[in-house]
């Protein structure tokens, strides 16, 4: 009997402990609930981060690495033959157009010119005499005082003397040109980049004498892929930097856009012209090039992180009175992480850049962090 009473007390104790445990669990479930059964987290809204939209500019650029070339790269060659008797320049010298580079022995050429001039004088005298004889014989032929045979012979002598005179004139010009060519001159303004002859050397027509480069303006040549070549056109502004002057930026413009790619590199050739009046840029330097291809100013700028796809449309959310408002912006130029907005968004609005995946139109939000 006592054993049964003890068992009943144990069972009652277990039931009491179980009831207290259930009561405690129910209290924890209701803890934190509001009067309407809405959790504190729901009442605060969905946590997001925002970015303040500001007006600004977006600049699209094509960047590349190229090599600097002179505007003119001229190989001056000899137009005559002979021995070099004088050398006027050294490598690195600045020369003007028409300045002498070397002198080829002119003595034989002077003698040839004198002979040609003497023959020209003889031919001229013979021609003048033949013209007078022809005029006299023409008048006699008209009065029937000489035969047609004598008249025709006078005419042929005049024509022959005229041909000889013209040939003598050409020979004088040729001899004069040979004498002038003995003084080999630069055909452009520039610097002597190389000299191929020494004093006493014998040259022939076509022999290279010196290379003269004009670097008052220089060309930067580079290649770009097909995704960039469609953005480039003549006249676009460009900026050039070189390792020799890391803190300086040189300005230029696009002067050539190649219509065909190099089949080995698959890149399209482009040239930028740069003013170099102080001659600091040298041919052969490696240059970094930036070509401005488009610029949009005074537009609201939207970070790419604010965009997401919904039902086939690109949308974003702005925060208005702690609620999410969905926008479908009309997007313009995109550069890096910035996009110019054509329509659908205004400067001063707060656009959600983190947490927008959880939002729907009208959803309550709590801004955890604002980016300015």
DSSP-H helix ranges across the chain: 2-30, 40-44, 107-142, 148-181, 226-229
Span 21-28, mean pLDDT? 44
Residue 101: the pLDDT is 97
Minimal CA–CA distance to 285: which of 296, 294, 274, 293?
A: 274
Share of the chain above pLDDT 70, in %: 88
24, pLDDT greater than 50: no
**CB-based burial, 57-77: b 16+ in 10 Å, e otherwise:** ebeebbebebebbbbbbbebe
Whole-angstrom Cα distance, residue 244 to residue 240? 12
User: What phi, psi does 267 have (nearest 5°)?
Assistant: -115, 155
What CA–CA distance (Å, rounded) separates 314 from 326?
10
- Name the token pair of 35: 């009067």
Residue 25 has pLDDT above 50, yes or no: no
Q: Which residues contact 364 (CB under 8 A, 6 or more apart)?
A: 44, 45, 46, 322, 323, 324
Q: Which pLDDT band holds residue 43 (cuts at 50, 70, 90)?
A: low
Please, which pLDDT band fits residue 33 given cuts at 50, 70 and 90?
A: very low
pLDDT, tens digit (0-9, with 9 covering 90-100), for 112-138: 999 999 999 999 999 999 999 999 999
The DSSP bridge pattern shows strands 190-195 and 54-77 to be unpaired
Residue 221 reports pLDDT greater than 80: yes
Residue 364 is classified by DSSP as B
Distance, CA of 183 to CA of 106 (rounded, Å): 8
| pLDDT, tens only, 60-108 | 899 999 999 999 999 999 999 999 999 999 999 999 999 999 999 999 9
With contact defined as beta carbons under 8 Å apart, do 154 and 134 qualify? yes
Check if the beta carbon of residue 268 is closer than 8 Å to that of residue 257: yes
What's the CA gap between 325 and 274, in Å, rounded? Answer: 50
Mean pLDDT, rounded, of the chain: 88
For residue 168, pLDDT over 50 is answered with yes
DSSP 308: E
Tell me which DSSP letter residue 80 carries: S
Mean pLDDT of all residues in 180-195? 95
Pairing of strands 94-95, 54-77: unpaired
Banded pLDDT at 42 (limits 50, 70, 90): low
CA dihedral over 83, 88, 91, 97, signed as positive or negative: negative
Looking at residue 335, its pLDDT comes to: 86
Q: Are 344 and 316 in contact (CB under 8 A)?
A: no
Residue 181 has a pLDDT of: 94
Domains parsed from the chain with CATH numbers: 46-57+297-371 (2.40.420.20), 64-69+215-295 (2.40.30.170), 76-105+183-210 (2.40.50.100), 107-181 (1.10.287)
User: Per-residue pLDDT tens for 339-357?
Assistant: 999 999 999 999 999 999 9
pLDDT reading at 198 higher than 70: yes
Q: Give the residue-averaged pLDDT of 262-279.
A: 94
Record the pTM: 0.67
């Amino acid at each position: 009997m006592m054993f049964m009473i003890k068992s009943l007390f144990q069972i009652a104790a277990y039931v009491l402990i179980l009831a207290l445990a259930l009561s405690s669990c129910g209290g924890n479930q209701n803890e934190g609930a509001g009067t309407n059964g809405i959790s504190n987290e729901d009442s605060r809204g969905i946590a997001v981060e925002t970015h303040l939209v500001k007006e600004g500019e977006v600049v699209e650029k094509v960047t590349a690495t190229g090599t600097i070339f002179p505007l003119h790269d001229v190989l001056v060659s000899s137009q005559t033959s002979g021995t070099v008797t004088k050398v006027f320049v050294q490598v690195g010298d600045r020369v003007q157009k028409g300045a002498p580079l070397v002198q080829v022995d002119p003595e034989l050429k002077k003698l040839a010119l004198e002979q040609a001039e003497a023959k020209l004088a003889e031919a001229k005298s013979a021609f003048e005499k033949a013209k007078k004889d022809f005029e006299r014989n023409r008048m006699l032929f008209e009065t029937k005082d000489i035969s047609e045979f004598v008249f025709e012979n006078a005419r042929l002598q005049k024509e022959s003397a005229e041909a000889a005179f013209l040939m003598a004139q050409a020979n004088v010009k040729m001899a004069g040109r040979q004498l002038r060519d003995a003084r080999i001159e630069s055909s452009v303004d520039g610097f002597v980049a190389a000299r191929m002859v020494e004093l006493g050397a014998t040259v022939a027509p076509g022999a290279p004498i010196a290379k003269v480069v004009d670097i008052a303006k220089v060309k930067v040549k580079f290649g770009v892929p097909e995704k960039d070549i469609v953005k480039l056109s003549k006249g676009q502004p460009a900026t050039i930097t070189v390792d020799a002057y890391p803190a300086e930026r040189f300005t230029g413009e696009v002067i050539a856009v190649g219509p065909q790619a190099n089949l080995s590199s698959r890149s399209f050739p482009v040239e930028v012209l740069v003013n170099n009046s102080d001659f600091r840029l040298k041919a052969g330097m490696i240059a970094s090039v930036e070509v401005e291809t488009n610029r949009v100013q005074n537009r609201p700028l939207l970070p790419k992180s604010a965009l997401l796809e919904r039902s086939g449309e690109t949308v974003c959310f702005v925060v208005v009175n702690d609620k999410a408002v969905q926008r479908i912006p009309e997007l313009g130029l995109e550069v890096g992480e910035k996009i110019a907005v054509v329509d659908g968004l205004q400067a001063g609005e707060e656009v959600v850049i983190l947490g927008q995946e959880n939002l729907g139109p009208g959803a309550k939000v709590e801004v955890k962090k604002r980016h300015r």
